[in-house]
Amino acid sequence: MTAEQKKEEQPEFIQFRYPREVPYEHALGYQSKFANALKQGRIIATKCPVCGRCTIPPRIVCPFHHVKQTEWVDQGQRGRLISAFKINFPMFNSRTGELQNWENPIIAVELEGGARMDGWCAETDPSKLKTGMLLEAVWRPEEERQGRADDILHWKPVEE
């Protein structure tokens, strides 16, 4: 086989780049209440009128009972660690759109009000994270808050 024939048999790939922004406008609707609370440094959750379960992100219906959730409950500033893991590969930063390494473990927290939410932990050493440990929300400065989940900069362990 000649070098030319060999070249023709090589699989060929095409790569397209469409460098443009795709602006989405998502109406928050009933979720506006949650976003506004975050801007004020508060965490609130929707509550099912049947089972009393609180949900974050706020949901229009309780998935268990398919009942409209109109009650909002303050969840406090503290919660207990449910689970944690550290990402060992680059992931997107939603604020910059860039790939980055994440020093802070991603965690799931059960809040004082009963709802569960995700976030980052201030403690970067995973060996120091224990299920059930008490954590407290650390917020971005008020002027940086956008009413989004990452308005909470991270959760820091609290000594008991």
Partner 1 sequence: MAGRVGVVAVAQTKFEEKKATEHTAELMYNVTREVMGQTGLEFKEDGTGIDATLAASYDLFSGPAGAYMFLGYVVGAYRREDERVLEDGSLAVYYGAMQILSGHVDTVLLVSYNKESSVGKNLIEWVGMDQIYQRRIGLDFVSAAGLQAMRYTTKYGITPEQCAKVVVKSHRNAANNPYAMCCDNITVEDVLRSTMLCDPIRVQEAKPTPVDGACAIILASEEKARKITDKPVWITGFGSCYDHHELGYRDLADCEALTTAAQRAYKMAGITNPLKTFDLAEISEQYAYQELLWSEGLGFCGKGEGGKLIDSGKTQMGGDLPINPSGGMLSGLPVCVAGMQRVAECVVQLRGEAGDRQVPGAKKAVAHGVDGPAGQLQCVITLEN
Instruction: Count residues binding partner 1 (CB under 8 A).
Output: 19
Q: Which two tokens stand for residue 76?
A: 């406090």
Figure out which of the listed residues 6, 9, 19, 23 binds partner 1, where binding follows CB under 8 A.
23
**11 lies in the binding site for partner 1 (CB under 8 A):** no
CA-to-CA separations, 86 to 11, 30, 155, in angstroms, rounded: 37, 33, 14
Contact window for partner 1 (CB under 8 A) among 24-32, 71-79, 102-110, 129-137: 24-32
Please say which residue, 76 or 147, places its beta carbon nearer to partner 1: 147
**24 lies in the binding site for partner 1 (CB under 8 A):** yes
Sketch the per residue contact string, 28 through 67, with partner 1: x for CB under 8 A, - otherwise.
Answer: xxxx---------------------------xxx-xx-x-
Largest CA distance in the chain: 76
Distance between CA atoms of residues 104 and 98, nearest Å: 17
Residue 37, classed as helix, strand or coil, is: helix
CB-based burial, 107-141: b 16+ in 10 Å, e otherwise: bebbbebbbbbebbbbbeeeeebeeebbbebebbe
Sketch the per residue contact string, 64 through 83, with partner 1: x for CB under 8 A, - otherwise.
Answer: x-x-x---------------
Please say which residue, 31 or 124, places its beta carbon nearer to partner 1: 31
Tell me if 67 sits within 8 A of 48, measured CB to CB: yes
**Residues contributing to the site for partner 1 (CB under 8 A):** 14, 16, 22-31, 59-61, 63-64, 66, 68
